[in-house]
Amino acid sequence: MGLLQDTTPEFPHVYWLAIAVVGVIVGYKVLNYGMRPKNMPPGPPTIPILGNLHQMPLKDFHFKFREWAQQYGPIMTLKLAGQTMVLMNDETVIKDLLEKRGHTYAARPDLFIREFGGNMNIAFRDNDDVWRRQRKMYHLRLNKKVANQYIPYQAFDSTQLLNEMLDTPDDFSRHLQRYTTSVASTVLYGFRTTSSGGRVKDLMDWMDLTSEAANLQLVDFFPFLRPFYRYCPTFLMPYKQLLAKIRVIEENLFIQLMEGAKTSIQEGKVYPSFIRDMLLSEDKDRLTDVEIANNAAHGFGAATDTQWNTMLGFVKAMILYPDVQAEAQREIDRVVGPDRLPVWEDRENLPYIRAIIEESLRWMPTTLSAAVPHSLLKDDIYKGYLIPKGSSMFINVWTLNNNVKNDPRAFDPSRHGAENTLSDNYGIDPDSSKRPHFTFGAGRRVCPGFHVAERGLFTAISRLLWGFKFLRKLDSAGVPIPINQDEVTQGFIVRPVPYPAVIETRDQRKTKIIRDSWKEAQKSLDADGNFTEEFFERVFVSKEKRP
């Protein structure tokens, strides 16, 4: 009997070689995933897959960003798994990249949130044709000249703010929020905010949900997970459930608000508002109705929290720096006097008040880093470093705002000269080297509502300083209750954590003026707390008829 022969075919050596080559390539890619190439801006050491993700702080990230900036220089890179984050820590870098190469760096990172809601949110959208038309509406309808027409809204609601401060000073945070929210809703839609209910509550809910959804997700760090995220049922994924809630609000509320504006126009109530101007626009670049509805609502989100947070920072500064408060009140008493409330026209003669506003924006920025980072459309080389296409370009606001001499964490209005603050563009100077702060962003994505915000802040802050004293609260032993001046809420958009304050009227004469002013102002309101037609006729129409 012969030996059995093994008839199993041999596995050719070339196949084993191919498998080995593929294995090496895959292993190389895995081991290099998240690693920083040597030709990119420096940063902390990376590890495979995670890069620097494991080093990202879970809270107070702005302090760590400043520490890294001091260690690695004006421009640095963090590798967050598959995402490249570039921190711009110096004014020169901002000028060179966001300003001189503005078109290249005006895009947005490709975040997963953009796949929902038709990508209508101007904050997340790339600088394509739709974004250009969205942005153009802000430039045309909220520029310096147009912003002046909204001053009556800000003056009116600041009068209510003063009266509320007299009634319940302990609720100052809520009063400041109502003021900024009401100004935003009136400027954007033409209706006031008298309470936290109804349409305003829906808008605030949408804003909170969107802010939560905008935080970087696992899929943003590991883009290869996108197919799974797209096709995974919504009920199995909390993040998609959150996006679905946002979508429902946008599809219902945004359109409802726009249709309400259309109805008002049809009824002849053509009063100043951003949505009115967009609807009546005959410009060749006019937005579609859906784009108009989204553009107005997203403006509301940008206008409310930022001013509220800044004003909370201002009150905190006045409590912690009584000498600054005293100097401001000496100036306002000298220029305005005791018999009337300050008005926008006083701004020219109140350089110290102007400086306080700019220092508030520098000292307690509402965004510790760019709320939504810039990105670039193609690979770029800067000072010999490669910056890859699609990188997230973060304006390191906290670090930039503290790149000043003489104790950056001291609240010091003298940093801002009278000639500089007199300029309407001081806070958004196109030359970054002349900027007092970067709270409003930079480049082609700089805040388009800056001029409205400046008028709202000046009107409220000058009137609060005219009418009130801001004092430290004492404990039962008469000792001032400690306040951590730099403690803020967590996230990219922040506000000071709640702090104790005593707010008192400066004298009874001012109290009477505030009460009388609010009593007179209420004659211009209807039963719902909105402006009467007589108010618009008197304030706007008659003004247009003047020679």
- Residues 10-66: tens digit of each pLDDT: 556 666 666 666 666 656 566 668 899 999 999 999 999 999 999 999 889 999 999
For tokens 């000058």, the residue is 462
At residue 26, the pLDDT reads 58
Can you name the residues that pair with 367 across neighbouring β-strands?
493
CA distances from 233 to 112, 240, 244 (A): 16, 8, 12
DSSP code per residue over 266-309? HTT---S-HHHHHHH---TTPPPHHHHHHHHHHHHHHHHHHHHH
Alpha-carbon span 499 to 330, nearest angstrom: 26
3-state secondary structure of 442: coil
Query: 308: which 2 tokens?
Result: 């509220």
Alpha-carbon span 144 to 442, nearest angstrom: 18
- The dihedral over CA atoms of 200, 206, 210, 211, expressed in degrees to the nearest 10, equals 40
Contact between 275 and 319 (Cβ < 8 Å) = no
User: pLDDT tens digits for the chain (547 residues)?
Assistant: 455 555 555 556 666 666 666 666 656 566 668 899 999 999 999 999 999 999 999 889 999 999 999 999 999 999 999 999 999 999 999 999 999 999 999 999 998 988 887 888 888 899 999 999 999 999 888 888 889 999 999 999 999 999 999 999 999 999 999 999 999 999 999 888 887 666 777 888 888 888 888 888 899 999 989 999 999 999 889 999 999 998 888 888 889 889 988 998 888 887 899 999 999 988 888 999 999 999 998 888 778 878 899 999 999 999 999 999 999 999 999 999 999 999 999 999 999 999 999 999 999 998 887 668 999 999 999 999 999 999 999 999 999 999 998 899 999 999 999 999 999 889 998 888 889 999 999 998 888 889 999 999 999 999 999 999 999 999 999 999 999 999 998 877 888 999 999 999 999 999 999 999 999 999 999 988 888 888 988 887 655 444 4
Residue 232 is labelled as binding a ligand: no
Q: What is the pTM of this model?
A: 0.91
At residue 547, the pLDDT reads 40
CA angle 200, 204, 205 (to 5 degrees): 115
Instruction: Give all domains of the chain, ordered by start, each with its CATH number.
Output: 32-545 (1.10.630.10)
DSSP code per residue over 336-402? T-SSS---GGGGGG-HHHHHHHHHHHHHS-SBSS-SS-BB-SS-EEETTEEE-TT-EEEE-HHHHHT
Helix/strand/coil (H/E/C) assignment for every residue in 109-175: CCCHHHHCHHHCCCCCCCCCHHHHHHHHHHHHHCCHHHHHHHHHHHHHHHHHHHHHHHHCHHHHHHH
Contact between 301 and 366 (Cβ < 8 Å) = no
Contact between 78 and 57 (Cβ < 8 Å) = no
For tokens 């706007």, the residue is 540
Can you name the residues that pair with 504 across neighbouring β-strands?
469
For tokens 């004014």, the residue is 91
For tokens 């905010």, the residue is 193
The residues, ordered by sequence, that sit 6+ positions from 129 with a Cβ below 8 Å of its Cβ are none
The residues, ordered by sequence, that sit 6+ positions from 401 with a Cβ below 8 Å of its Cβ are 362, 363, 365, 408, 437, 438, 439
For tokens 């003004």, the residue is 543
At residue 545, the pLDDT reads 45
Alpha-carbon span 154 to 141, nearest angstrom: 17
- Residues 335-389: tens digit of each pLDDT: 999 999 999 999 999 999 999 999 999 999 988 876 689 999 999 999 999 999 9
> Among positive and negative, which fits the CA dihedral 325, 303, 101, 65?
positive
3-state secondary structure of 216: coil
Report how many helices (DSSP H) and strands (DSSP E) the chain contains, helices first: 22, 7
3-state secondary structure of 95: helix
DSSP code per residue over 470-526? EE--B-TTSPBPP--TT-B-SSSB--BPP---EEEES-HHHHHHHHHHHHHHGGGB-
User: DSSP character for 410?
Assistant: S
Select from 311, 318, 346, 302 the least CA-distant residue to 452: 302
Contact between 439 and 427 (Cβ < 8 Å) = yes
CA angle 331, 333, 337 (to 5 degrees): 140
